[in-house]
Amino acid sequence: MTTEPATRPDAHRWPDLATPPRSPVRARIAEALFRHAVRPLPVRVVFPDGRCLGAGGRGAPVMRIERPAAFFHRLGAGSKIGFGEAYMAGDWTTDDLPELLTPFAAQLSSLVPPLLQRIGRRLAEPRRPATEEMTLDGARANIRRHYDLSNELFATFLDETMTYSAAWFEAPDEPLADAQRRKIDGVLDLARVTAGQHVLEIGTGWGALAIRAAQRGARVTTLTLSVEQARLARQRIAEAGVAERVQVLLRDYREAHGSYDAVVSVEMVEAVGDRYWPTYFATLDRVLRPGGRVGLQSITMPDDRMRATRRDHTWIHKYVFPGGLIPSVEAIEENLAEHTTLRAVERRSLGPDYARTLAHWRRAFLDRWADVAALGFDETFRRMWEFYLGYCEAGFRVGYLDVHQFSFARR
């Protein structure tokens, strides 16, 4: 899809974007560092006057700087947040975000002005605000900021299963819905879910996993903090004919009661926050009956990067997923060892599959933009959502991000 230069963001909807910040010194430093960082990359960065940066030849992804002054002011004032905000505001554009962002994915940290790096990360990168802390009240507010946007919005780009997590592909041309069903069965298999069991699911989504577990003959209690997700999940569960086997509760994982033969949780731990990881994993241990298994799917990142950035406030936090933190495999295993009687007994990686999943979502979102716009979302939202999906796809392409399925059993 060819992306045209965007109109300026509506000041009422997007007050942080309508007027670029003014920081001449930081802007000059950011411009110098950006030029240095781009020089060896296999891309072409084109300015309005025709000047071009980068090592990319013909056919290389092109980044068009539409408003250089605004771009460098945002980059200097906001580092990686500014980079994303500049795309949202239309200060730069491209015809293929994932292709462009893939070579950038491992280089974005170099866009922090070097003088600020010498002062320290505390000044170079914004700190996560206390208002996004994943307390009981904070978690409800943070989850609803994303998942309660609109069920109709998510339906425009998700497949028929309404599954919002990495699929598991086996063939190049496999339909996304089939790959999602394989992923769901993979998690249920890791938790050894069979007929007659009582299963706890932490993070309902729109009900696909609960439906599948019930179809296996299990009874399911599933927890969510999203009012909108709960409403549609109950409807979908009833339409699937398994309502008598599934109970959907608006409840935090910390409020889970009872004991269960199996516990499953798909891409929910990323929303917990590292301060509460001990509580989350201890909860899995507390509610699991002797002999039971946990099936967990989590996005992961390298341990050194997780620890270096765990207090940073990123573009993703500000605009998409407030308050959370993607764990490393090591952090998961450490929390199990220190706060539970559980250990990981099986693990598989689906990182490349997530890149493919995100590509499906991005294409569907752009192809159905007219339907999204009819729901009341504006052009700046379109660019925000496109950047979110493209940025994540690039991260999985280069291995900066991964996703793992785990089976936990008691030691």
Active-site amino acid positions? 392
Token look-up 């230069």 returns: 5
Calpha distance 338→223 (Å, rounded): 25
Chain Cα centroid distance, residue 98: 15
What does the block give as tokens for 59?
Answer: 């056919």
The strand pairing partners of 175, in sequence order, are none
From its phi and psi, is residue 193 left (phi > 0), alpha (psi between -120 and 50) or beta?
beta
Task: Please tell me the number of Cα atoms within 13 Å of 89 on its side-chain side.
Answer: 27
Cα–Cα distance for residue pair 187/204, rounded to 1 Å:
14
Count CB neighbours of 367 within 10 A.
12
Residue 164 and residue 357 in contact, taking contact as beta carbons nearer than 8 Å: no
Distant-in-sequence, close-in-space partners of 110: CB < 8 Å, separation ≥ 6: 33, 37
Judge contact between 328 and 297, C-beta under 8 A: no
